[in-house]
Amino acid sequence: MMSANMVGTVAIETHGCKLNQADSAVLAGEFAQAGCRLVASGADADIIVVNTCTVTAMADTKARQALRAARRANPTAVLIAAGCYPQRAAAELRRLPEVTLVVGNDDKPALVSLALAELSNRPERRDDVPPATSTGFADGGAPHRSRAMVKIQEGCDQVCAYCIVPKVRGRERSIPPDELVDTIGRRVAAGYQEVVLTGTQLGTYGFDLPDAGLPGLIDRILNETGVARLRVSSLQAHEISAELLARWQDRRLCPHFHVPLQSGCDRTLRAMRRRYDTATFEQALQRIRNAVPDAGITTDVIAGFPGETESDHAESREFAARMGFADMHVFPYSQRPGTSAHYFAGQVPASDKRRRAGELAAAGKAAFAEFRQGLLGHVRPVLWETARSDDGGNRRWRGLTDNYARVELASDAELANQITPARLTGWDGRALIAEL
């Protein structure tokens, strides 16, 4: 039977970026404070939240598929479409018969109360209560209580031609440093080994606050909390300064930089309204490598932006291949209503976009393997997260190096949520193989 002091069970499915993961963590904490229990499966939940992405048409498709799947698995739950997709196209989601509530980013602070009000009106409530999930979301963390996503700012004022984010996340606004230091202190006290600073434009953090900025925030976190590992999720090329990079002398800062490229062609970058050219981008990467020699640098690249010629694409592909990225997230350009590029002439045919994305992805795959093969024989600190049994019944741990490479280890030791040095001895084409 349901406990008298438990309001209901909640499952949260998160799509998209680390900022969405941070939002889901906050929602989970609010549900827990309201007396709800988090469960791993929507089939076991009274309330299901699908926290959506809308950065591409494919993201929208995945969100609709997830909502329909959730309803098939649980016909009676309060099913909520939340996040960026409803912020952009709430009416479109309200037309889906599967969805109970549509809650955009602006209304996320009220989501828990809206969900519980809807649940309280249901005549029938489940009596069987499944075991609590081990996601760790209940205190605002991340799955398995290893990495906590902490949002330090939200919104974007840069308004790139292709990007819907300013429409769905709003203008840039920073969270005060005192609040962030307190939040991170609580995550550390709850057992999280790594904190990931998330946001839309991390490099401009603090522009709207007196005497605040990203370098100073990092200093305060490192000096005033016991965080074992601190990771900065994303930076723009023109935001990477010597002052900022000096903070990486503290080894608790992960030597991993995600620097979105979007195109390796200057003509396309100008059309995209990006705030750098390829020379600036290359200089930023060199600055990183001079200051943090063991850094892993990852990126995003768009294929088939309107007006991109075959020559532009070849230039972009060759530049990206030359940059030595540890990983490349490649996706074909997707028209987003509400962005200026949606109306540009010279839209690239879908078949050409797919082909170009495939060529960029092949370059990214080669760079992915080259970076990992370059780590062989090295010892890196690894945060171990989960274990599984292989076909032979041997326990295999999965973890992440400080410079963002996935690692596997065969060991019967209890390593969950521990950071240990590990020697990287092999590469199976998917993950690095390690030994302690």
Number of domains in the chain: 3
Contacts 24+ apart (CB under 8 A), 429-433: 429/369, 430/406, 431/398, 431/406, 431/407, 432/372, 432/375, 432/376, 432/401, 432/405, 432/406, 432/407, 432/408, 433/407, 433/408, 433/409
pLDDT of residue 127: 52
pLDDT of residue 138: 38
In a domain, 218, yes or no: yes
Residues 329 and 268 in one domain: yes
pLDDT at 378: 97
> Does any domain span residue 130?
no
pLDDT for 1: 35
pTM across the whole model:
0.90
Together in a domain, 146 and 263? yes
Which of 61, 90, 120 is the endpoint of a domain? 120
Identify the domain containing residue 421 by its residue range.
379-435
Q: Are residues 194 and 87 in the same domain?
A: no
Q: Which of 120, 153, 181 is the last residue of a domain?
A: 120
Residue at 128 is within a domain? no
How much is the pLDDT for 140? 40
On the 0-12 / 13-18 / 19+ scale of CB atoms within 10 A, 76 is exposed
Alpha carbons 153 and 18: distance in angstroms, whole number: 12
Question: Please, are residues 37 and 66 in contact by the beta-carbon 8 Å criterion?
Answer: no
Which residue carries 């680390």 as its tokens? 18
Residues 178 and 237 in one domain: yes
Give the domain CATH number at 355. 3.80.30.20
394 lies in the same domain as 339: no
Assess if residue 1 is contained within a domain: no
319 and 419 within one domain: no
Domain assignment present for residue 2? The answer is no
Residue 26, domain CATH: 3.40.50.12160
The pLDDT of residue 124: 58
* pLDDT for the residue 42: 94
Using CA atoms, how far apart are residues 202 and 155, in angstroms rounded to an integer? 10
- Could you give the C-alpha distances from 133 to 40, 44, 266, 415, in angstroms and in order? 5, 11, 48, 20
Based on the fold, state whether residues 366 and 389 are members of the same structural domain.
no
Q: Is residue 322 part of a domain?
A: yes
* Residue 14 forms part of a structural domain: yes
Same domain, 43 and 83: yes
29 three-class SS: helix
Per-residue model confidence (pLDDT) at position 131 = 53
pLDDT at 28: 93
Do 100 and 199 fall within a single domain?
no
Element (H, E) at 78: strand 78-83
Q: What CA–CA distance (Å, rounded) separates 138 from 164?
A: 30
169 and 216 fall within a common domain: yes
- What residues contact 279, with CB distance under 8 A and at least 6 apart? none
**pLDDT (0 to 100) of residue 128:** 54
Q: Which of 67, 86, 120 represents a domain boundary (last residue)?
A: 120
**Which pLDDT value is given to residue 5?**
57
Q: How far apart are CA 49 and CA 44, in angstroms?
A: 13
Among 103, 120, 127, which residue's Cα sits nearest to residue 24?
Answer: 103
Is there a domain that residue 305 lies in? yes
- pLDDT < 70 positions in the chain: 1-5, 123-145
Query: Do 397 and 369 fall within a single domain?
Result: no
- Same domain? For 67 and 184 the reply is no
